[in-house]
């Protein structure tokens, strides 16, 4: 992914050097945690798909993240998180534009997002970006034995 700027926001792919900073950021900016929200989980993601974890920075400070995963068939968005002090400044829009550009370049035709039902603020942001819920679907999960 090439870095892109919208006046003061730089968007780039994460590297292994960013892992600890990302984990600390998610504790401040992300709603809830996932079973794979640890250094090993993020390291595997970056190793397997180096362009999937997209970061937004302003003046060298991490202000947003999104995971844009593509499995060859479908485009999935996870961990859209913006620092509470930087919300409503276009950070999420810049991240989603980068994710959608990635998906289009890979041949993706539709993106879906994991959004917590209780996160009303996120619902507004996703709707503003053109996404909408599909109430006929539910997420079914099963934790797998870890490494």
**Beta bridge pairs of residue 13:** 54
Distance CA 109, CA 68 (A): 13
pTM of the model: 0.90
Residue 146's pLDDT is 64
d(CA 145, CA 67): 23
Q: Domain for residue 140, yes or no? A: no
- The pLDDT tens digits for 6-61 are 458 999 999 999 999 999 999 999 876 677 788 999 999 999 999 999 999 999 99
* Any domain includes 51: yes
Number of domains in the chain: 1
Residues 35 and 79: beta-carbon distance below 8 Å? no
- Judged on CB neighbours under 10 Å (0-12, 13-18, 19+), 52 is buried
CATH number for the domain harbouring residue 110: 3.40.630.30
Q: Which domain holds residue 37?
A: 4-128
Predicted pLDDT of residue 2:
43
């Amino acid at each position: 992914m090439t870095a892109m700027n919208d006046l003061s926001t730089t968007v780039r792919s994460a590297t292994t050097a960013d892992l600890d900073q990302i984990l600390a950021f998610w504790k401040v900016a992300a709603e809830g945690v996932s079973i794979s929200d640890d250094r090993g989980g993020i390291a595997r993601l970056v190793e397997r798909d180096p362009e999937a974890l997209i970061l937004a920075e302003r003046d060298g400070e991490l202000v947003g993240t999104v995971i844009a995963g593509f499995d060859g068939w479908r485009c999935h968005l996870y961990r859209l998180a913006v620092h509470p002090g930087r919300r409503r400044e276009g950070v999420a829009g810049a991240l989603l534009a980068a994710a959608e550009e990635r998906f289009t370049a890979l041949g993706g035709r539709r993106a879906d997002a994991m959004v917590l039902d209780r996160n009303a603020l996120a619902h507004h942001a996703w709707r503003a970006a053109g996404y909408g819920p599909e109430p006929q679907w539910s997420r079914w999960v099963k934790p797998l034995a870890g490494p």
